[in-house]
Structures are given as structure tokens and as C-alpha cells.
Amino acid sequence: MFSSLLNWRTGLAVIAIAIVSGTIFYSNFISNKIAADEKQKVEQWLQAATEINNTTSGSTDLAGKILTENSIGIPMITVTETDSILDHYNLNANKIKHDKKYLHKKLEEFKHTYPPIIWKNPMNPNQTNLVYYGESDLLIQIRYFPIVQLIIVALFIFVTLIAINTQHKSTQNQVWAGMAKETAHQLGTPITSLQGWIEMLKDKQVNEKIISEISKDVERLKLVSDRFGKIGSSPQLVATNLVQQINVMVQYIKKRSNEAVHFSVNSNENEIMGMINAPLFDWVIENLLKNALDAIDGKGKIEVIVKNEKSNIIIDVRDSGKGISKSNINKVFKPGFTTKKRGWGLGLSLSKRIIEQYHQGSIFVKSSEYGKGTTFRIILKK
């Protein structure tokens, strides 16, 4: 179990997570160092401002230099103990000019960022002021850098997964097409041989009924071979009366079922024209009807409803069978999934490919209630 998980994809994912995690921790470490450095600069700036404003001090060159250099990029607001704004530094002058509430908004923001620094007013020693400060642009960029990196990595992983999934589907389609064409090729030789044997039986004047039934089965094999041969190619779509086409297939299945099964085809119009490839479309209807027969277990109702709507043609295949459990509804179109003891579970998967890839339509389970029946829906664009 563990060996199957330890493949190259898992290794790449672990490495990517380790790199991103390391970057986040390192960025956080750097941002904390810069934040501490900026606090020290604000304190130095306040000390320098105090010395410059103190008339009794000597040379103010060093203080002036500190005052100039340490204030760059760090936004600050000086207030009294009653929150009256005395002065501000490194804030957006344009916003201050046009937005009267801007300073108060920034003050509230700074209050939630860092605790204030207490500053004794050099001009009035009895007055205590508070200096609130925010983060410089550099610090903000470093704090948001891991988030930007995560978004980029997530997009990269997303694109990679889509590419892998597309490649996987493309490989699957090639395998399906190859298998189908090889099956058609393999069927070709015995079908041709059977046709020759039928002609020989006719010459021997064998019972006409036997020859007729064998001929029907051979034609059936030719139809199956033709269907497989069209998989993977670009089949031609022809305007066809879907009501008539479906009726023919229903009659074919009806002859091969018992009298306890009631078939019906209902439509809102006698002639509903749709662009289809008849052999492949018949294959889809046949698969749905055979699944319905399996579901009702030899007794019940199978109804096909054809609706001609403004922009779509709706085809519902409804049965009164045992239904599909909720856990299996999303699996019925997956290759290999089957609840039957026999079969490969390819019928519905092929039907989905035929409708979606060749007819540009959609097929899905419209409804299913356990013990009451299932309805499959096909939607074809006009």
C-alpha cells in the first residue's frame, strides 16, 4: 500500500510543499526582523526629534541625519493622550487632502498593528504624546510574498494536473480507438467467410428460414463491426428522423425479450429530425435498452420519450426496475464499472463517448429511485 503512494508524483508534491513551507517560515523570519528594525528606527527618530527641539543640546547634525534617514518609508501619526492628532509622516498626501477621515482610518489601523511608542513632548515636558506607526512598503511586500508564491505554485499545480489529465484522456482515447478498430478488423474475416457459407447453403437449398435467421445474425455482426470501425474516426452526421430510428431499435430489442416486458415510444411530434450517425446512435440506444432490461429483471416497463424543444432534442429512456444506488450514480459511466455478474462495464462508457465526442451532446442519469426505476437522459443540440 505504502509503496504505491511513494511514486514520483508524491515525491514532487512533498518537495513542492517543503519548498513553499521553507519560504513561508523564512519570509516570516525576515519580516519579523524588519519589523523590529523599523521599531528601532522610529524610536531613534523620536529621540533625534527630541534632541533637535531641545534648545539646550549641542550639535544637531547627527540628530538631523537620523531624523532624515530613519523616517523614510515608515508611516507615523503623533497624537495626544486624548487621541488628538498632532502630526503625521510618510502618509499619502493626496488622500489626506481629499479624504477627511483618512488620518483617523490610518490611526485605527496603526493601533491594531503595533503598540504605541510613548514620546515626551520636548516643548512641554508635562505633556505625553503617543506615536503610532505602521509598516513600510518593503515590509508589506515581504509579508505578502508567501501568499503570492502560494498562488503561483497553486496555479502551476492546477495547470500541471490539467495537462496530465488531458494527456491521460488522450492516451485512453487512443487505446479505445485502437481496440475498437482492431476488433472491427478481426471481425471482418469471419463475417466475410460466413457470407460465403450462406451462399453455399442457398445453393444446397437448405431451409429458407434457417438461412434467413443466419443472414440476420451475419448482418448484425456486420453492424457491430461497422460500429467499432467508426470509433476513433470522425463519423459523418446525417439528418435523421429520431422517432423512427428509436422505434426500429426498440422493436429489435422487443423481439429479443419476453412478453412480460412492456415497451413504448412517446414523442410530442411524429417526425423529429436530428443530426446523428445512425450506427453509433443505435448503439447508444441499444445499450440503454439492454441496461433497462437488466434492471427490470425480465418484467416491467421500458419507455422512451422523445421531445422536440426550441434548441435541443431530449431523449429519456425510463425503466421501472430496481434503480441505482446514490453511491453508484456518479460511477455508471466509468469504464469497467458494472453491477452485473457478466460483462466488462463498457457499454455506458462507450455511449457517453459517442454522445459527447461524436454528437456534441450530453448523457446522464436524470433520476433514479431505488426500487422504482431509473431515467437516462440524452440531450442533442439542433
Burial state string for 83-119 with b = 16 or more CB within 10 A and e = fewer than 16: eeeeebebeeeeeeeeeeebbeebbeebeeeeeebeb
Give domain status of residue 155, yes or no: no
Shared-domain flag, residues 210 and 240: no
Which CATH number is 244's domain given? 3.30.565.10
Q: Is 186 part of any domain?
A: yes
Instruction: Looking at the structure, tell me whether residues 124 and 19 fall in a common domain.
Output: yes
pLDDT given at position 301: 94
Burial (0-12, 13-18, 19+ Cβ within 10 Å), 171: exposed
Residue 129 falls in which region: left (phi positive, over 0), alpha (psi -120 to 50) or beta? beta
Q: Are residues 372 and 252 in the same domain?
A: yes
Domain membership flag for residue 154? no
184 and 307 part of one domain:
no
Is the residue at 185 inside a domain? Answer: yes
* Three-state DSSP string of 116-172: CEEEECCCCCCCEEEEEECCCHHHHHHHHHHHHHHHHHHHHHHHHHHHHHHHHHHHH
Is residue 58 within 8 A of residue 105, CB to CB? The reply is no
Order of strands across the sheet that contains 76-79: 85-89, 76-79, 128-133, 117-120
Number of domains in the chain: 3
Cα separation of 253 and 270, whole Å?
Answer: 21
**C-alpha R_g of the chain:** 39
- For residue 206, the model assigns a pLDDT of 77
Query: Taken in order 40, 46, 52, 54, is the CA torsion positive or negative?
Result: negative
- Same domain for 319 and 364, yes or no, is yes
Q: Which domain holds residue 334?
A: 235-381
Q: Are residues 239 and 343 located together in one domain of the fold? A: yes
- How much is the pLDDT for 86? 83
Q: What are phi and psi of 9, to 5 degrees?
A: -65, -40
Instruction: Show the cell assigned to 50.
Output: 527630541
Q: What's the pLDDT score for residue 341?
A: 57
374 with 253, same domain: the answer is yes
Averaged pLDDT in 10-residue chunks for the chain of 382 residues: 55 76 82 84 76 58 57 79 83 83 88 84 72 84 80 82 78 69 73 82 80 82 75 80 94 88 92 91 92 88 94 94 85 73 68 89 92 93 87
What confidence score (pLDDT) does residue 246 get? 95
Cα 338 from chain centroid (whole Å): 25
Question: Residues near 239 by Cβ (< 8 Å), separated by ≥ 6?
Answer: 273, 274, 275
- The answer to whether 128 and 121 are in contact (CB under 8 A) is yes
152, part of any domain = no
pLDDT of residue 9: 65
* DSSP-derived 3-state class of residue 376: strand
For residue 238, report the phi and psi dihedrals to the nearest 5 degrees. Answer: -125, 140
Do 191 and 287 lie in a common domain?
A: no
Question: What pTM did the predictor assign?
Answer: 0.53
- What's the confidence (pLDDT) of residue 5? 47
The edge-to-edge listing of strands for the beta sheet with 300-308 is 261-267, 300-308, 312-319, 373-381, 362-369
Residue 126 belongs to some domain of the structure: yes
Q: Phi and psi (nearest 5°) for 377?
A: -120, 135
